[in-house]
Chain A
Amino acid sequence: MADDALLPADRRSGTEAAAAHPRSSPLRRAVPVLCVVAVLLLIWEGGKLLFAIPDQKLPHVGDVVAILFSRTQGGRGPLLLVQLLANAWATFQVAFGGFMIGGLLGFCLALLFSRWGLLERGLMPYVIASQTVPILAIAPMVVVGLGRMGAPDWTAKVVVAAYLTFFPVTIGTLRGLRAATPQALDLMRSYAATPAQVFWKLRGPVALPYVFTALKVAATASVIGAIVAELPAGAQQGIGVMVLNAAQFYNSRPPALYAAIGAAALVGLAFYALVAFAEWLVLGRRGDARHA
């Protein structure tokens, strides 16, 4: 019965499909990134030259790199690079804690909302309102409030990071949980599937790609939350503190600010990469990964 007429025009077996869509090697994927870096360098240094921007306003890229390898505390401390990485790591930990708590909260809210529409109609306005209030206004309140309650320094930072994290996760997960088509649901109904079966075999798998997209947004948001929460606290460590310090002493060492900002960006990038890796672990081997 398997007649040629019924085969797809390009009968793609697994290997042929793989050949048609070659997994690009890491080296090959690095090419566009490196190209963009080259262009940015060109714009930076070109612009500096063209518009005669003084070093005080925009340092040379080389100076920014050089300062990474200078010693801090007037030559007695560790390399600036080491100091930046240590502080970046502290911020990353806070962001990660906030991400986990906020992610879990967002996920649970989405589950509740998808199950009880009434709850969504009642609570969603507050969820949205919570995100329109500037985080710069919220963060000091949280920091001061929790500080008075005698909570350790890091709790306030984690709370602010979680505050920025839960929203995208709620919205993305909710969208995903509703993405199953009516017909796919009709099929489940015709099998007399239980609500739990519908969740595990249909709604959940359909929602997963949406959840990961939301988690990627949340990953960078949680880093912003962690950094913002470091600013009012008079915190001792964190990449936000480093940015603040470098800004204060900008006149004496302009490149240090750029280095600190670069390190802050690196935290967000690293976190995003981590989530993307988790996504690949969970979805990458799924048969429909090609579409994801």
Chain B
Amino acid sequence: MPEPIIAFERVSKVYPGTEGPVTALHDISLAIGQGEFVSLIGPSGCGKSTLMRLIGDLEQPTGGTLHVKNKTPHQARLDRDYGIVFQAPVLYEWRSVRKNVELPLEIMGFPAEQRRERAMALLRLVGLADWGESFPWQLSGGMQQRVSIARALSFNPSIVLMDEPFGALDEITRERMQDELLNIWSAAERQTTVIFVTHSIPEAVFLSDQVVVMSPRPGRVKRVVPIDLPRPRRFETRESPRFFELVTEVREGLREG
């Protein structure tokens, strides 16, 4: 495995609750290599989103150590190592599509010319080149989520965190978005590390190099399933026998314990 870019060592997260502390994550040890596509899967309450938020320094662990690029997650955030995509597109309604993609670049102080260029390049990449001057409400849910992905990639972060990004889309749009996501990721030479939270087993298997299977109460890593399906993955991949074997393996991992 390549040099880990994200390393969890016995990490735990405990929330103070009204009826005593709640353990959201218990004793997580996990290593993620650079350029890997890793899915976190498990039922609601297994802490998969929390795990992602710990990486992104949106929350802090209460025990253990977590390193990102040999730094603290806090330092990595200040270094702008993270692009984030949520389940909702979270576009700023008063900004045009292009201006939404430019938002992180504005904050990071890129000059206007460069912002525009990068935003247009990314909109082309996600197939929305003609929609730059439209406003979010004029776009369908799938299109809005593609804008959100373009925005997350606009400043070339080394790690992209995706929290059920296709969870609100219909099945047909969803599979198409999965194909597109892999195309986009490949276009960047698969240098970007992707942490992908999902509760869809086929989605996790289709996209990932590793699937981290988690269980709830308290959130633990039960199994890490390596996905050895050849890349590039296409439509046929979803119908190959190996795909079904791996889906079965993940499903059994979810059921046990």
Q: Quick one: given A6-B176, A287-B93, are A192 and B77 in contact (CB under 8 Å)?
A: yes
Residues of B within 8 A of A2 (CB): 127-130
Most buried by A among B82, B103, B155: B103
Residues of B within 8 A of A7 (CB): 140, 143
- B133's nearest neighbour on chain A, judged by CB, is A14
- B85's nearest neighbour on chain A, judged by CB, is A187
Residues of B within 8 A of A193 (CB): 107
> Within residues 157 to 199 of chain A, which ones have a CB less than 8 A from any CB in chain B?
181, 183-184, 186-193, 197
Most buried by B among A6, A201, A288: A6
Most buried by A among B96, B139, B155: B139
CB < 8 Å neighbour of B104 from A1, A17, A184, A191: A191
On whether the beta carbons of B137 and A288 are closer than 8 Å, the reply is yes
Number of interface residues, chain A, beta carbon within 8 A: 32
Residues of A within 8 A of B80 (CB): 191-192
CB < 8 Å neighbour of A287 from B96, B104, B127: B96
> Within residues 261 to 290 of chain A, which ones have a CB less than 8 A from any CB in chain B?
286-288, 290
Q: Quick one: given A190-B56, A205-B94, are A6 and B140 in contact (CB under 8 Å)?
A: yes
A105 at the interface (CB under 8 A from B): no
On whether the beta carbons of B135 and A288 are closer than 8 Å, the reply is yes
- B183's nearest neighbour on chain A, judged by CB, is A1
Residues of B within 8 A of A184 (CB): 90, 92
Q: Quick one: given A189-B77, A287-B94, are A8 and B139 in contact (CB under 8 Å)?
A: yes
A5 at the interface (CB under 8 A from B): yes
Q: Roughly how many angstroms separate A272 CA and B135 CA in the complex, as a whole number?
A: 29
On whether the beta carbons of B56 and A192 are closer than 8 Å, the reply is no
- B131's nearest neighbour on chain A, judged by CB, is A2
On whether the beta carbons of A288 and B94 are closer than 8 Å, the reply is yes
26 A/B residue pairs, CB under 8 Å, sorted by A: A1-B126, A1-B127, A1-B180, A2-B129, A3-B127, A6-B140, A6-B142, A6-B176, A7-B140, A8-B139, A8-B140, A14-B134, A190-B83, A191-B107, A191-B155, A197-B107, A201-B92, A201-B107, A202-B92, A287-B93, A287-B94, A287-B95, A287-B136, A287-B137, A288-B94, A291-B93
Q: What 10 A-B pairs come out closest when comparing CB atoms?
A: A1-B127, A287-B135, A288-B93, A8-B140, A2-B127, A191-B107, A286-B94, A183-B90, A288-B94, A193-B107
